[in-house]
């Protein structure tokens, strides 16, 4: 077992974002739509420990969803 296997990371897959008031969230019911700040062809972003590391696209296969990496972001120096 590698020493790296026990290190926890925070991984986020971000489709898009928006800002809405809490009162609007509380009024939502099942099936409500939330408009995001991106289009359906925009890349989905992959963050590791709050750092953007890659972009990709969401794939759906039945009930399963996955992220296909299309671009790895170059590290800033």
Q: What pLDDT does 18 receive? A: 94
Q: Map out the domains of the chain as residue ranges.
A: 3-72
Q: What is the pLDDT of residues 21-63, one digit of tens each?
A: 999 999 999 999 999 999 888 999 999 999 999 999 999 999 9
Burial 37-75 (b: 16+ CB within 10 A, else e): eeeeeebbbbeeeeeeebbbeeeeeeeeeeeeeeeeeee
Check whether 1 has a pLDDT greater than 70. Answer: no
Q: What pLDDT does 15 receive? A: 92
Q: Global pTM?
A: 0.75
Check whether 77 has a pLDDT greater than 80. Answer: no
The correct answer on CATH 2.30.330.10 for the domain covering 3-72 is yes
């Amino acid at each position: 077992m590698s020493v790296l296997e026990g290190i926890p990371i925070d991984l986020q897959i971000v489709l898009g974002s928006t800002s809405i008031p809490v009162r609007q969230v509380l009024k939502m019911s099942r099936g409500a739509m939330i408009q995001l700040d991106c289009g359906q062809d925009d890349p989905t972003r992959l963050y590791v420990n709050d750092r953007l590391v890659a972009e990709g696209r969401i794939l759906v296969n039945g009930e399963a969803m996955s992220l296909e990496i299309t671009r790895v972001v170059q590290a800033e120096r």
